[in-house]
A and B are shown apart, each in its own frame.
Chain A
Amino acid sequence: MESNNIGVLMTCPMNSHLEQELEKRFKLLRLWTVRDRSKFLAAHRNSIHADVGNCSVCANAELIEALPKLEIVASFSVGFDKIDLAKSKEKGIGVTHTPDVLTDDVADMAIGLILMVLRKFCESDRFVRSGKWKKGTFMLTTKFTGKRVGIIGLGRVGMAVAKRVEAFSCPIGYYSRTEKPEIKYKYYSSVVKLAANSDILVVICPLTEETRHIINREVIDALGPKGVLINIGRGLHVDEPELVSALVEGRLGGAGLDVFEHEPEVPEELFGLDNVVLLPHVGSGTVETRRDMADLVIANLEVHFLKRPLLTPVV
């Protein structure tokens, strides 16, 4: 198969380097540019052999069914909650993601959010820019070093977060599906228990049916009015309305959020709070890492069409 004739569907704009590289090698079809998607997919159903998606739009059952020649789904993300894995398996479609290359950036951002929330960086920067410093001193904030950090999900990114947190002399606890006996951090058998014993709770597990709304009212109450929640996982990990009311009412001490239930919509009740930091899903958002992710997507597609084993299949 001449590679320039291989149709690759890209679901939404995600990275211009990736787009350029895909265009050089394949026949790139940009789904977001067409008005009538069903008609478009029907017209190209026999030429699309690969789908490139991300954490917003990837490959649900409907899309998979519409593309009978689909052989591989390559996600420009480490999470694969927007891919119907069962349907992909049923059809023999390979699925890849981008683990490892973004681990450091996401872990860095978790620490960044902790510091931003505890030490109120965004608010103090506003304090200076607005001229208020000339009229008075900024409020006291809260120390990070030595605080108890609880991590939900001790996978690649969770471990990278733990490594950084150790350098700040913080005691570390964790929750995961099973206890990891080789890990020296303290295991808690429930998220509520972890929250009750943490000053800062970091969400970084995969999004599945079980972990949907893993941060609910009970967990938020256990974390308490001095506790801080950091979400660098998925918006759906958190019961967002519960979180918002807890923050507005002062039942939760603060939050650093890189993800939301309905991105790019962000609950506007949060805009007036100084104990919250809101980011537009930029956990892996560096020039270097996005380039590495793009190169990994391309590499997976290339090896697939050369009939070699996938580099980073979703397992």
Chain B
Amino acid sequence: MATDEDGALPIVLVHRPANFHFPFKDRLETQFRLLDPFDSDPPESTHSFFSRHAASVRVLLCVDPEPISGDLISLLPNLHLIVCSSAGVDHVDLQECRRRSIAVTSAGKAFSPDVADLAVGLLIDVLRRVSAGDRYVRARLWARNGEYQLGSKLGGKRVGIVGLGSIGTEIAKRLESFGCAISYNSRKKKPYVHFPWHKNVYDLAINSDILVVCCALTEETHHMINKDVMTALGKEGVIINVGRGDLIDEKELVQLLVIGELGGAGLDVFENEPDVPEELFGLNNVVLSPHCAVATPECFDALEELITANLKAYFSSNPLQSLVEFE
């Protein structure tokens, strides 16, 4: 393990929410010297702590989506790398990072299979009414009322993936095996991808029965799924969101679902978590999930492995994984 000049463990500055103790801190401490403002005694503000240690900090570990503003970054003149523990990096001032040539890594690769699994599960649940069917049986309605309402077949449906990054690619791979026809929209056409590309989300929606939203949240993509897009998807259309709540105009989404102008939705993320629009609670064509796409022990193990690998790679000048591409 690479150490700095006097043989001590390499320094990693930690930025985390106050009450959040990330589970693998102990294991990281065997390989790195973790500087954590919340461990300081007497207690010190983040600003003061960062300033005091600024000279020796080249790497920042950001745990959970604790925002990293341009101001915080400016306190660390020697910062080269920010390692994030989430797939989304909308909480990091990426513009400032680009300006300062600070590399940013995300948890994308570690999280992708679990998020893709959840997206596919949400889609099957909505189309085949699985949660609703389970509720039907538990309410003893099968014996009383007979056959449950028929669902809709997955095979042959046109699925439009919004954002064909690591997660979108895993989703496409799974849904292809179900016989879905895949197309996508992303900022630029991907050269080695055989799925049809649409230059904007509206065009994608016109040509799809289902939209799966799994792109990054940026200023450009905020409320990208708006009323026009949802109307283009159509009355039987289904939306799955495993990205960020703000990617969709939630108020419009709810309205369209309530009046029956949209076929259904499977949502793991919302604009104001944990608040979820209560108008959705009475709908059987909607499946609601409490932002738990990555909440499996296996996923956290993969995250720990990725973070540890990236920290080691940086200090031994090896390539990093899951690097965020700046626009």
Q: Which residues of A line the B interface, CB within 8 A?
A: 13, 104-105, 108-109, 111-113, 115-116, 119, 121-122, 124-125, 127-129, 133-134, 137-146, 163-164, 166-169, 263-266, 271, 277-280, 282, 285-290
B131, B281, B295, B300: the one contacting A122 at CB < 8 Å is B131
CA distance A64 to B79 in the complex (A): 83
Find residues 141-194 in chain B having any chain A CB closer than 8 Å to their own CB.
142-143, 146-148, 150-155, 173-174, 176-179
Q: Are A280 and B147 CB-contacts (below 8 A) given A108-B178, A115-B120, A266-B137?
A: yes
Top 6 nearest A-B pairs (CB, nearest first) are: A115-B121, A167-B177, A112-B124, A143-B298, A145-B113, A128-B288
**Interface residues in chain B, defined as those with a beta carbon under 8 Å from any beta carbon in chain A:** 113-114, 116-118, 120-122, 124-125, 127-131, 133-138, 142-143, 146-148, 150-155, 173-174, 176-179, 273-276, 281, 287-290, 292, 295-300
Which of A119, A134, A166, A271 makes the CB contact (< 8 A) with B117?
Answer: A119
Let me know if B133 and A282 touch, CB within 8 A. yes
Say whether B120 contacts A145, CB under 8 Å: no
- Pairwise interchain contact A143-B296, C-beta atoms closer than 8 A: yes
Alpha-carbon gap, A270 to B289, bound state (A): 22
User: A108-B128, A125-B289, A169-B113 are known contacts. Are A142 and B296 too (CB-CB below 8 A)?
Assistant: yes
Return the chain B residue nearest A147 by Cβ. B298
- Secondary structure of the B side of the interface? helix
Query: A266–B128 Cα gap in the complex (Å)?
Result: 20
Known contacts A163-B177, A285-B151, A287-B150: A133-B130 contact under CB 8 Å: no
- Complex CA distance for A13 and B147, rounded to whole angstroms: 9
Which residues of A are found within 8 Å of B290, using beta-carbon distances?
Answer: 124, 127-128, 133, 137-138
Q: A108-B153, A287-B151 are in contact. List 17 more A-B contacts (CB 8 A).
A: A115-B118, A115-B120, A121-B131, A125-B287, A137-B292, A141-B295, A164-B177, A167-B173, A167-B174, A266-B137, A266-B142, A280-B147, A282-B150, A285-B148, A285-B151, A286-B127, A286-B128
- Cβ contact within 8 Å between B117 and A168: yes
**Which one, B120, B137, B152, contacts A288 given CB within 8 A?**
B152
Do B288 and A129 have beta carbons less than 8 Å apart?
A: yes
- Given A133-B274, A143-B114, A265-B143, the answer on whether A104 and B131 have CB atoms closer than 8 Å is no
In the complex, residue of chain B having the shortest beta-carbon distance to the beta carbon of A120: B292
**B297 (CB) vs chain A CBs: closest residue:** A140
Q: What is the CA–CA distance of A253 and B178 in the complex, to the nearest angstrom?
A: 27
Q: Known contacts being A108-B155, A142-B297, A164-B177, is A277 close to B130, with CB within 8 Å?
A: yes
Given contacts A112-B130, A116-B125, contact A121 B289 (CB under 8 A): yes
Determine the distance from Cα of A167 to Cα of B171 in the docked complex, in whole angstroms: 10
Q: Is B118 touching A119 in the complex (CB atoms < 8 A)? A: yes
Q: List A contacts of B177 (CB < 8 A).
A: 163-164, 166-167
* 20 pairs, CB–CB < 8 Å, chain A vs chain B: A108-B128, A111-B120, A112-B130, A115-B121, A121-B125, A122-B131, A122-B135, A137-B292, A138-B292, A140-B297, A142-B297, A143-B117, A145-B116, A168-B113, A168-B117, A263-B142, A265-B143, A278-B137, A286-B128, A289-B153
Cβ distance A299 to chain B, nearest Cβ, rounded Å: 19
Residues of B close to A133: CB separation below 8 A: 273-274, 276, 290
Task: Find chain A residues with CB under 8 A from B120 CB.
Answer: 111, 115
Query: Contact between B134 and A287 (Cβ–Cβ < 8 Å)?
Result: no
Contact check, A125 vs B288: say whether CB atoms are below 8 A apart: yes
Query: How far is the CB of B266 from the nearest CB of chain A, in Å?
Result: 9
Q: Which single member of B117, B148, B178, B275 contacts A280 (CB below 8 Å)? A: B148
Contact B292 A279 (CB under 8 A): no
Chain A residues within 8 Å of B146, by CB: 13, 264
* Most B-side CB within 10 Å, residue of A128, A137, A138, A142: A128
